[in-house]
Structure 1
Amino acid sequence: MKNSDAMSLSAALLAATGSLVEDIHNGVVALGYTDLRPTHGFVFSRLAPSGATVTEIAEHLGVTRQAASQIVDELERKGYVERRPHPDDARARLVVLTPQGWRCTRAAEESAAEAVQPWIELLGEDRLLALRDELVRLAPTGPIRPSW
């Protein structure tokens, strides 16, 4: 593959990713969750289904523990998460989604389905599912995090 082809592939994947994140966020905002940023969605994805510590959230986001703690503080003030005693570690606190956080998570799932609808119309469902399967093969395992 020529360098120019590799660059255009990289640019296309990054543009598609950025567009998808923006479309999901805009959908969440349209459903009434106007006090959130796209980063919060990446936190929610780590908290579902059973919560996480601030340290685990920091690792997931690729940020410092202090930055993750500030994000959790903000989400807690807004009513999306709460801290609970950790069931396995008396020194740790478990951050979990509140009912409002779960509603927002479902709104994000709905927004994600709507965001890919134009892709289905453009490529067809079979081709899009094949693309998904190939991307799953290529994508590294691990956290889905913002590309700061």
Structure 2
Amino acid sequence: MSELPGLLALTFRAVIDQLHERLAEDGFADIRPAHGFAFQYLSHRPNGVTAVELAEHLGVTKQAGVQLVDELTNRGYVERRPHPTDRRSRLITLTQRGWQCIGRMEFRSQEIENHLAKLIGSDQLEHLHNGLLAVVRDAATRRPVTLRPVW
């Protein structure tokens, strides 16, 4: 059992690599894993977030958050909008291209999940899903569990 953390990490890496290969085929070759964590956070906040909030979620400095937002803005995935109550801040929201990318991520993720079901069996995949969900729920009783990169 001492191999489990390593196997989970390798599985995550294999799935993410496969997802990004497929996204590249779909015209999103300029996306990297850190962008996915930002997209996931932004997709649950359609009214936008500040670069500082995004940086805090990702566990990076304010400067790194701004740099990531600049990168995603230049690639057409997010845009900056005026903040309704703070003239010094800007809200970061997904653009149409950002939402399209998320749609492809969801589609390609389902394809990968279907492949895993064929590989290990639907019942095994369901047991794995339920087991991992139990681990996450247990961890959440002690501290918030968020989807963010481990830098």
Q: 1:24 to 1:77 in 2, by over 3 A?
A: same
Unpaired runs of 5+ residues, structure 2, are none
User: In the alignment, what sits opposite 1:28?
Assistant: 23
8 Å CA contact retained: 1:46, 1:52:
no
User: In the alignment, what sits opposite 1:147?
Assistant: 150
User: In the alignment, what sits opposite 1:39?
Assistant: 34
Write the mapping of 1:1-148 to structure 2, written as runs, cut at 5 A: 5-6=1-2, 8-49=3-44, 50=46, 51-139=48-136, 140=139, 141-148=144-151
8 Å CA contact retained: 1:55, 1:65:
yes
Structure 1 residue 90, shift from structure 2 partner: 4.3
8 Å CA contact retained: 1:23, 1:111:
no
CA distance in 1, matches of 2:37, 2:16: 10
Over the aligned positions, Cα root-mean-square deviation in angstroms equals 1.6
CA distance in 1, matches of 2:58, 2:15: 18
CA deviations 1:89-143 (Å, max 9, x no partner) are 4443210000011001101111111222221012222321221122122124432
**Larger RCO (CA within 8 A; separation ≥ 6):** 1
Q: Secondary structure at the match of 2:93?
A: strand
Q: Secondary structure at the match of 1:102?
A: helix
CA deviations 1:56-88 (Å, max 9, x no partner) are 211221111110110100110111100112345
Q: Which amino acid aligns with 1:130?
A: H
How many correspondences in the alignment? 143
Q: Which amino acid aligns with 1:43?
A: A
Q: Secondary structure at the match of 2:79?
A: strand
Report the TM-score, using the length of structure 1 for normalisation: 0.87
Percent identical: 41
Report the TM-score, using the length of structure 2 for normalisation: 0.86
